[in-house]
């Protein structure tokens, strides 16, 4: 919960300062279900009694859930397929400068061994592989104006990229392969193609598409293969599709395969999608966890060169197995079966015998390692299977079995719907909620994961050195005629001028400062606009009354210094802190028409917070401020230590009433700035909520107004069909406030991956432009709408270094590591006290504003100063952060859209 506590300090959550990016060790290990040979044995549907024999087909079967279902009578959670578009689009990109490509010998070196790597994930028979490639949307034409700005102080920076030095004139030939009869198994298709190695020469095959180094004798071939075990005969119809330009996404995927194969020489382990160094694991024995250091790499064509991006990653491994958790549950819980299920369901585990990760979807206590299943050699028990295949002895023959559901795309290729896992062999990954709330443990982890720029550079240089000196890695690079630069890429950057923070229309403003933090200035300045708070109530459990009274006095003192009028509130004590008691108390207070209600809670229990917010945000429309008792308890009994917290809470309350703490100068009149983000429902993953927040600025001297709305998305989608409709609502609100439509609209869209760009452009942007055109035309405005549509991405691996230090806030990079098919730039808008600062990527996918790139960059930086829950800059524009806060509130606690009567207030801060 965010109320009563300002957003995390410099070493807080991902989006705030000091973030280690999207690959935080505090997240559980992601990844798909392990497949193929070397995995756990497949299982069929049902939960037979202990000791009975499973009857499974020889080829990996499908499970069918019988009645009554799982052992506890509850069904397995359902899975939903994501909306996606066909892979390997090659008709969108225009030709780019020719990058490094490979020769025939290199393709022969990869041969047919790449089917388990990146290409194999992209396209598979039977409807698989519909996930789009990283980026198929070109938004920058060849005659577009320069995207390189000039405003600011020039800088020379380094980045976590290495340049590919050699260029080879080489092209891949792209063929489509069809199997008759259809072959659903990826392993079988690979085997059938391997029979024709001599004819095909060096090739890469992903299950449907074939890429060869040499042109085949005919554009259409029919080859014949035979299954070596069953004797079934297949025809392979091979048809040439295109010549692959190595600068497009398909060619770059081949380069990524080469790099991944070269990294095999570093003896790294694949966990999920990334490689980690288990030999260099960092044990934190005090908390029974391990940190595995690793690398995330990617290779692609940038402005002038093919660059390899390398980022340091960490995975959190717990020094306990699922069986350890089972024993703890048996010792401490009478109903240990339910306790064990609650502890492991939804968790991701690592099986050391094949280094694969699985998500636990169910537990069956009716099946044990003594249970048997069918194989081609007859029945075998799970105990014997692991003993014979991996030489692993299972100690407890009566432990339950874990069940992991395969993804739909995996089941289509012949994989079992469910995999059986032995708790003894499953190592827990990630962190529990109780672990995340342990400040000391998180701090101990941060000492190893939050690398300062100099340490990060050392690690990157070590990675490069290992890659250059490993014989196996060098052999792969040599075969492919590739050479990696030993130095980090150097690139130009610029430092934008410091922003002026205005606390009133008459003041000259104060500079934001080198670290973009103006907290100290609140001691001497009022807030820009305030709303008098005269009718409000303080709901507090009886045992917290003394702390609440002391904190209330601090709030009144802090508000007086900021010219915010707060009348003494009416304190309403409660006998206990039960959620129902809060509901009854709130109902009685709401009938008195208060401006605001403050609630003091004893802890962070989500049920209580949810009850309060639902009653006041959904059933009624009353802004609320929720404070945790610990937050308002003075340290060492000194009440003065609460003044900093009281100041933040007073600012927050003023914003929820409609006030504005500060402004920055934006030299554009008639501006509406919109932010949009999506959050999934914490109770039902098939649902998500999209939140849109708009700032309405009619002129630079006036007080900005706000408008927010929430839309429900079905099937967990992040694409919004309601975006044009919600934007029209914001336009109507602007017209009601100022009597005219905005002259210019700046839209910041968060929560979009690169693979969704084309879909966003086709469905959201085009429909938005069409709808805006209708609105403005009906209002008598004939010219095109002045709209700029940004895609904002903070989950990136790019990092910048300024003489082995963090770049200062306001650093902009729009060259070298940007992409030629985009109008894009990176912006460092924060300073951090720990770790390496994370830049934010901005991609302009639609722009009719006529503004120069300098103006767009400076406007985006200005927007990072306007988030009123933190007296400093944020990683993303304020409207994006507001949208995130609103969607998070709805997705995590409300689970339904809030009252429309709150649309004009920042009630979600």
- Residues in CB range of 781: below 8 A, 6 or more apart: 741
The two structure tokens encoding residue 641: 């230590």
| Alpha-carbon span 359 to 406, nearest angstrom | 9
What H or E segment, with its residue span, contains residue 539? Answer: strand 536-541
Q: Are 395 and 425 within 8 A, CB to CB?
A: no
| Alpha-carbon span 543 to 635, nearest angstrom | 18
| Alpha-carbon span 203 to 105, nearest angstrom | 10
DSSP letter at 758 equals H
- Residues in CB range of 9: below 8 A, 6 or more apart: 16, 17
| Alpha-carbon span 898 to 904, nearest angstrom | 12
- CA distances (Å), 657 to each of 564, 662, 885, in order? 11, 15, 17
CB atoms within 10 A of CB 825: 24
- Residues in CB range of 227: below 8 A, 6 or more apart: 188, 191, 192, 233, 234
**249-263 helix and 471-479 helix, angle to the nearest 10 degrees:** 150
Listing DSSP states for 338-383 in one string gives HHHHHHHTT-EEEETTTTEEEE--EEESS--TT-EEEETTEEEEHH
Catalytic site includes residue 750 = yes
Catalytic site includes residue 677 = yes
The two structure tokens encoding residue 515: 């670290």
Q: Which of 206, 362, 415, 677 is catalytic?
A: 677
What H or E segment, with its residue span, contains residue 309? Answer: strand 306-321
Question: SS3 string of 684-729?
Answer: CCCCEEEEEEEEEECCCCCCCEEEEEEEEEHHHCCCCCCHHHHHHH
Q: Which of 517, 697, 750, 754 is catalytic?
A: 750
- Which three-class secondary structure state does DSSP give residue 498? coil
| Alpha-carbon span 40 to 65, nearest angstrom | 19
Q: Which residues are catalytic?
A: 677, 750
């Amino acid at each position: 919960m965010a109320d009563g506590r300002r957003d995390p300090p410099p070493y807080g959550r991902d989006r705030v300062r000091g973030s280690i990016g999207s690959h935080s060790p505090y997240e559980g290990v992601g990844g798909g279900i392990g497949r193929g040979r070397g995995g756990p044995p497949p299982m069929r549907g049902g939960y037979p009694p202990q000791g009975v024999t499973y009857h499974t087909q020889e080829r990996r079967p499908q499970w069918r859930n019988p009645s009554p279902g799982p052992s506890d009578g509850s069904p397995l959670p359902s899975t939903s397929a994501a909306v996606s578009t066909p892979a390997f689009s090659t008709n969108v990109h225009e030709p780019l400068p020719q990058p490094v490509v490979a020769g025939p010998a290199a393709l022969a070196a990869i041969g047919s061994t790449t089917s388990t790597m990146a290409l194999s994930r992209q396209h598979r028979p039977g409807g698989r592989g519909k996930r789009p490639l990283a980026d198929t949307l070109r938004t920058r034409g060849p005659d577009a104006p320069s995207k390189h700005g000039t405003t600011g102080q020039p800088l020379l920076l380094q980045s976590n990229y290495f340049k590919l030095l050699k260029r080879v004139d080489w092209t891949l030939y792209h063929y489509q392969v069809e199997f008759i009869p259809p072959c659903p198994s990826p392993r079988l298709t690979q085997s059938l193609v391997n029979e024709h190695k001599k004819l095909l020469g060096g090739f890469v095959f992903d299950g449907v598409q074939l890429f060869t180094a040499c042109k085949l004798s005919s554009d259409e071939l029919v080859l014949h293969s035979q299954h070596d075990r069953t004797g079934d005969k297949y025809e392979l119809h091979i048809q040439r599709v295109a010549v692959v330009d190595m600068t497009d996404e398909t060619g770059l995927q081949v380069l990524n395969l080469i790099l991944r194969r070269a990294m095999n020489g570093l003896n790294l382990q694949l966990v999920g999608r990334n490689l980690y160094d288990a030999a260099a694991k960092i044990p934190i024995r005090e908390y029974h966890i391990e940190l595995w250091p690793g690398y995330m790499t990617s290779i692609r064509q940038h402005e002038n060169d093919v660059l390899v991006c390398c980022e340091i990653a960490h995975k959190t491994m717990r020094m306990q197995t699922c069986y350890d958790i089972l024993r703890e549950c048996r010792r401490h819980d009478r109903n240990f079966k339910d306790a064990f299920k609650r502890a492991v369901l939804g968790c991701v585990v690592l099986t050391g015998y094949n280094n694969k990760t699985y998500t636990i979807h169910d537990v069956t206590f009716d099946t044990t390692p003594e249970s048997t299943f069918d194989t081609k050699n007859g029945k075998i028990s799970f105990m014997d299977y692991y003993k014979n295949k991996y030489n692993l002895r299972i100690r407890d023959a009566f432990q339950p079995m874990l069940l992991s559901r395969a993804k739909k795309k995996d089941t289509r290729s012949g994989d079992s719907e469910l995999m059986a896992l032995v708790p003894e062999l499953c190592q827990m990954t990630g962190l529990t909620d109780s672990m995340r709330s342990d400040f000391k443990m998180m701090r101990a982890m941060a000492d190893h994961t939050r690398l300062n720029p100099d340490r990060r550079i050392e690690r990157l240089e070590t990675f490069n050195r290992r890659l250059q000196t490993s014989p196996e890695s060098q052999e792969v690079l040599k075969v492919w005629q590739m050479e990696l630069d030993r130095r980090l890429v150097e690139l130009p950057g610029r430092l934008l001028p410091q922003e002026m923070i205005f606390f009133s229309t008459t003041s000259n403003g104060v500079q934001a400062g080198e670290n973009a933090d103006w907290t100290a200035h609140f001691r001497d300045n009022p807030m820009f606009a305030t709303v008098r708070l005269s009718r409000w109530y303080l709901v507090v459990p009886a045992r917290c009354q003394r702390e609440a009274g002391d904190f209330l006095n601090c709030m009144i003192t802090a508000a007086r210094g900021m010219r915010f009028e707060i009348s003494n509130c009416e304190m309403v004590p409660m006998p206990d802190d039960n959620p129902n008691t809060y509901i009854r108390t709130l109902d009685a207070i709401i009938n008195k028409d208060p401006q605001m209600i403050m609630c003091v809670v004893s802890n962070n229990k989500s049920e209580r917070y949810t009850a309060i917010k639902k009653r006041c945000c959904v059933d009624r429309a009353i802004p609320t401020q929720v404070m945790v008792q610990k937050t308002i308890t003075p340290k060492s009994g000194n009440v003065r230590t609460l003044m900093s917290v009281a100041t933040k809470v007073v600012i927050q309350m003023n914003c929820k009433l409609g006030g504005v703490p500060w402004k920055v100068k934006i030299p554009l009149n008639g501006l509406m700035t919109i932010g949009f983000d999506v959050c999934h429902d914490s109770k039902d993953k098939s649902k998500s909520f999209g939140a849109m927040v708009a700032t309405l600025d009619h002129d630079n001297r006036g007080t900005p107004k706000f408008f927010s709305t929430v839309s429900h998305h079905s099937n967990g989608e992040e694409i919004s069909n309601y975006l044009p409709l919600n934007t029209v609502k914001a336009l109507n609100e602007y017209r009601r406030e100022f009597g005219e439509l905005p002259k210019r609209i700046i839209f910041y869209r968060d929560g979009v991956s690169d693979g969704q760009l084309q879909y966003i452009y086709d469905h959201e942007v085009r429909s938005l432009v069409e709808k805006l055109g209708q609105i403005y035309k009906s209002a008598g405005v004939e010219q095109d709408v002045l709209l700029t549509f940004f895609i904002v991405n903070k989950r990136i691996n790019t990092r910048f270094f300024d003489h082995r230090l963090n770049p200062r806030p306001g650093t902009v990079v729009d060259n070298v590591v940007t992409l030629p098919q985009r109008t894009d730039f990176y912006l460092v808008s924060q300073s951090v006290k720990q770790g390496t600062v994370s830049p934010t990527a901005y991609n302009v996918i639609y722009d009719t504003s006529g503004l120069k790139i300098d103006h767009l960059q400076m406007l985006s930086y200005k927007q990072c100063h306007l988030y009123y829950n933190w007296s400093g800059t944020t990683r993303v524009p304020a409207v994006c952060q507001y949208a995130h806060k609103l969607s998070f509130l709805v997705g995590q606690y409300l689970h339904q859209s809030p009252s429309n009567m709150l649309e004009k207030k920042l009630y979600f801060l």
